[in-house]
Structure 1
Amino acid sequence: MTKTAPLAAALALAAAPALAHYGMIIPSDPMVSQEDGRSVDLTLSFSHPFEGIGMDLARPEAFTVTHEGETTDLLGELSEATVMDHPGFTMEYALDRPGTHVFAMTPQPYWEPEEDAFITHYTKTYVAAYGDDSGWDTELGLKTEIVPLSKPFGLWTGNVFQGVVMLEGIPVANAEVEVEHYNQTGAAVPSDLMITQTIKADENGVFTYAVPASGWWGFAALNTAEEPMMYEGEEKAHELGAVIWVRFEPWSVE
């Protein structure tokens, strides 16, 4: 009994699915109307969103908003905050004009010892202001990103979301995309294997996913950078994540 216990524990640990990491930009509202006010609150974090397990987010390398083709640097306006019991950032952004505002974060590369690799998640979310959805398919030209083929707001639960995975401006054939719910209600799953859904894009880099529940859903397309990074004198793999956060609304039409 004593001899087999460590082996059983080791097997259980090996069998447990790895927790998926997500860069996160969560706005207080993805569709801001005149009645809602003239600004949106943004929360930036790095976490395991379904489990609600936070991780440390160092000050990003870049944080911007793009509107009508104009990109504005917002890095200096971020305020330090605690998100899921770990360092993160917040800010209030004034929405001066209608249309879609695309917020994007480039974090500092994160060293993940369990994966023996660095992780950088280029993270985006889209906010529509004052009933104007123009610019909802904006591509930012990030090193890697998911360009929406479905409007990334104003979606009902049960709608599909489609996007194309881009790396260095080129669609990634057969890209692997991880999908996870930001579980703010304490929902349980029958198996840990269902926490992170995994799908693959087609030969054109296009993926499709039907969302089963309302709330925020993160889509992360993962690729490995050609150039490794150095850690303690050794070359290590560098995972590049293209992350987009999309909110789905509950069906409530009478």
Structure 2
Amino acid sequence: MPRAFFSLHRLLSLPFPSRLFLLAFLCCLAAARPASAQMTLLVPSQPGIEAPAKAKEEQKKNTAEQNAVQAPAKAAPEAVQPPKPQDGAGKAKQQADGQIPATPDAAKAVEAAGRNATVPVSADAANDEGELQTPPISEEVDVLISMMRPFRHEGLPMDMPQLFAVLRYDDNTPVKDGVLQPERHDLLGDVEEIRYLDQKAWGANVALSRPGLYQFIIEARPWWDAARDRFVQHYVKTTLPVYGVERGWELPVGQRFEIQPLTRAFGLTAPALFSGRVLFNGKPLDNAPVRMARINTDKQNAPTPWHEELAARTDGEGRFAFVLNQPGWWCCAATAAGDPLKGPDGQPKPLELGALFWLYVDGATAEARKR
């Protein structure tokens, strides 16, 4: 069988239309690169904290005692309603410009969300409700905030986010006017500049004083993507179960743009199904592009760029689903258009919003959880 090869002489001897087609084909091959999507990383140093055996027994005993005390006084449970996130072009523009942070709102029902939601309150406010408190613990977790390209395992410099907070749920989280009210702690003041993958990043050591389901959320500052001639801004969240508490994992937090998990995002073993819903201003977003990318810590090669991430579109109710076939940290990212911002040349430029959700999938052998 004759060998196939290309040379300049052979190329020039081809008819002009054939040369043009071949050159275009070769240019496409040269331009094919691994996925280089930038994603804002928000992950704890461990995806969950289990209680010691003795603490588990005490926790069961305390829960039983609290249930016995609360049972006579309990009324019919209130229906939990989803929040009404901040909307309006003017307010969204201010948030994108960094003039005001997008914080989760106390809100009424949102017609199309169809899920439970939360209204965060301070720990002191929650205590004032007279709820029985879970026993204190002494744990801590390091939270990493960075910009990266997951498949390449490549870091990128990142400015400090304009919002960083944590919401805590447990079995005693009160319901007021039909809305769950978890404790909220703002953590932006605890953030310190660090280095991650040889790039500027941010980290915080967070003390965990009580068992609960912790939802960490950040709102990044809009940044200019010169290669795509647009601004980009990410709304990011992740969950951390502490001492076996899972209440609240499916609840949206009221971010302007967010991913609401419909599959519990912890305790997963590859291959695992993960499903969710994309919410924009509290309403399901249909036909939205959604991708799943894994941090490629072992630097595996992919046969094609399409193998570097998973991609889908939401249905009419904003739902999507993926099968995560490998262990590690995965990022689920949806995109939508925001209000234009003034670009470097003084002209309005597009703003691309990203809703990101980070989760960890264990392997069958429960290897070390790298990030």
1:86/1:10 CA distance change after superposition, 3 Å = farther
1:54 and 2:152 aligned: no
8 Å CA contact 1:99–1:135 kept in 2: the answer is: no
> Counterparts in 2 of 1:189-228, with a 5 A limit?
189-225=302-338, 227-228=339-340
2:131 maps to which residue? none
Q: Comparing 15-24 with 145-154, which one deviates more in the overlay?
A: 15-24
Distance across 1 between alignment mates of 2:242 and 2:34: 39
Pairwise CA distance, 1:86: 1.1
1:30 maps to which residue? 47
8 Å CA contact 2:192–2:202 kept in 1: the answer is: yes
Residue type matched to 1:56 in 2?
Answer: P
8 Å CA contact 1:78–1:90 kept in 2: the answer is: yes
Distance across 1 between alignment mates of 2:28 and 2:365: 46
1:209/1:11 CA distance change after superposition, 3 Å = closer
Distance across 1 between alignment mates of 2:26 and 2:32: 10
**What TM-score do the two structures reach when normalised by structure 1?**
0.92
1:245 and 2:358 aligned: yes
Q: Comparing 215-224 with 130-139, which one deviates more in the overlay?
A: 130-139
Pairwise CA distance, 1:17: 5.6
1:138 and 2:155 aligned: no
1:123 to 231, 236, 255: 236
Structure 2 unaligned residues grouped into runs of 5+: 1-7, 13-18, 54-137, 170-181, 367-371
Distance across 2 between alignment mates of 1:185 and 1:39: 28
8 Å CA contact 1:100–1:129 kept in 2: the answer is: yes
1:39 to 113, 124, 140: 140
Distance across 1 between alignment mates of 2:286 and 2:25: 39
- Relative to its length, the structure with more strand (as a share) is 1
2:165 maps to which residue? 64
What do the CA deviations read for 1:30-58 (whole angstroms, capped 9, x no partner)? Answer: 21023497111111101101101111110
Pairwise CA distance, 1:70: 2.2
Pairwise CA distance, 1:136: 1.0
8 Å CA contact 1:20–1:196 kept in 2: the answer is: no
- Relative to its length, the structure with more helix (as a share) is 2
1:162 maps to which residue? 275
What do the CA deviations read for 1:45-79 (whole angstroms, capped 9, x no partner)? Answer: 01101101111110111001011322211001011
- How many residue pairs align between the two structures? 251
1:85/1:35 CA distance change after superposition, 3 Å = farther
Larger radius of gyration: 2
Distance across 2 between alignment mates of 1:30 and 1:228: 36
2:264 maps to which residue? 151
Distance across 2 between alignment mates of 1:165 and 1:13: 35
Distance across 1 between alignment mates of 2:295 and 2:34: 18
Distance across 2 between alignment mates of 1:16 and 1:174: 26
Structure 1 unaligned residues grouped into runs of 5+: none
Distance across 1 between alignment mates of 2:26 and 2:153: 24
SS in 1 for 2:228: coil
1:109/1:13 CA distance change after superposition, 3 Å = farther
Pairwise CA distance, 1:7: 7.9
Residue type matched to 2:358 in 1?
Answer: W
Distance across 1 between alignment mates of 2:147 and 2:140: 23
1:230 to 338, 342, 346: 342
**What TM-score do the two structures reach when normalised by structure 2?**
0.64
Q: Say what the alpha-carbon RMSD is for the aligned residues.
A: 2.2
Distance across 2 between alignment mates of 1:86 and 1:10: 32
Residue type matched to 1:61 in 2?
Answer: Q
2:224 maps to which residue? 111
Residue type matched to 1:27 in 2?
Answer: P
Residue type matched to 2:43 in 1?
Answer: I
